[in-house]
Amino acid sequence: MLSYRHSFHAGNFADVLKHLVLIKILEHLCKKDKAFFCIDTHSGPGEYVLNGDYALKNKEFETGITQLWQRTKLPEDLNTYVNLIKKFNSTDSLLRYPGSPLITQQFLRNKDHLALFELHSTEIELLKTATNKDKRIHAHHADGLSSAIALLPPKQHRGLVFIDPSYEIKSDYESVINSLTQMHKRFATGIYALWYPVIDRKRNQKLEKALKTSGIQNIQLFELSIKEDSLEHGMTASGMIVINPPWTLSTDMQQTLSWLSNTLGVDGAGSYRIETLVAE
């Protein structure tokens, strides 16, 4: 877990989906004047250099943000996403990619707050550097899954918990369910967004089953595949599971995921899935 560096994967197709959903949720929270509180349980360093050694090793950004960067015509939601990424690049070249902490920061108003958690000793220092001038943001060198529970319910009584583990350890699949269940008991009206990879479909099926039997209601799933499921090494798809999603999210994502699956799919193998795991 502590060896994981997201810099190898920054800007890939999974980040496109992950951050698109994050932006849609943040836009929803900003529609009301009342303050909100966000928690990011696995924050990383805050932003990524795409022309650095880590990102260039596998060039995974070429399967994601690069495919959208130079297009003049995009679906509305993707246009919003790409324009936000462009704010972090001073030229027309795609050199930097923001992580979820800096994306969330773009939506914070003076009354809103963000708690960040990161365990990696190097990444937490980079994260603090990236956010230390912002009094609305507090970065903690701690395990986000366990530490976030103590911050709930927030005094604002509305907000988002963004959960983005590495899943390097198989037990992460169980840990996220246990933590989600405890968080939801303390803050049942909050929005929860859980990212997952598809590497072994059986693990994902167990994850979905655990959520369906957790007693938590109003759960939707959004999944983007660029290849067919395979037993070979590597991620073929990824998804976002959202508890208490914005009521327009499913409809909005229908067109966007259709476009992304056609555009990012490898050799025409792209597909998508939108499903209500548990109704309201």
What tens digit of pLDDT does each residue of 222-274 get? Answer: 999 999 998 777 899 999 999 999 999 999 999 999 999 999 999 999 999 99
In this predicted structure, what is the pLDDT of residue 168? Answer: 84
Q: Which two tokens stand for residue 70?
A: 């130079």
- The architecture (CATH level 2) of 20-45+99-278 comes to 3-Layer(aba) Sandwich (3.40)
Residue range 13-20: mean pLDDT, rounded: 97
Selected catalytic residue, list 15, 164, 229, 252: 164
Q: Where are the beta strands (DSSP E) in 2-155?
A: 37-40, 47-49, 96-98, 113-117, 137-140
Q: At what angle do helices 13-30 and 249-264 cross, to 10 degrees?
A: 160
Q: What percent of the chain has pLDDT over 70?
A: 98
Instruction: Quote the pTM value.
Output: 0.95
Contact between residue 46 and residue 101 where contact means Cβ atoms under 8 Å apart: yes
**What is the pLDDT of the chain when averaged over all its residues?**
93
Verify whether residue 200 is a known catalytic residue: no
Q: Which two tokens stand for residue 13?
A: 């197709």
Higher-pLDDT residue of 30 and 60 is: 30
pLDDT over threshold 70, residue 4: no
Encode pLDDT of 34-90 as tens digits: 999 999 999 999 999 998 777 777 788 899 999 999 898 999 999 999 999 999 998
Lookup result for tokens 């060896």: 3
Q: Which helix (H) or strand (E) holds 273?
A: strand 271-278
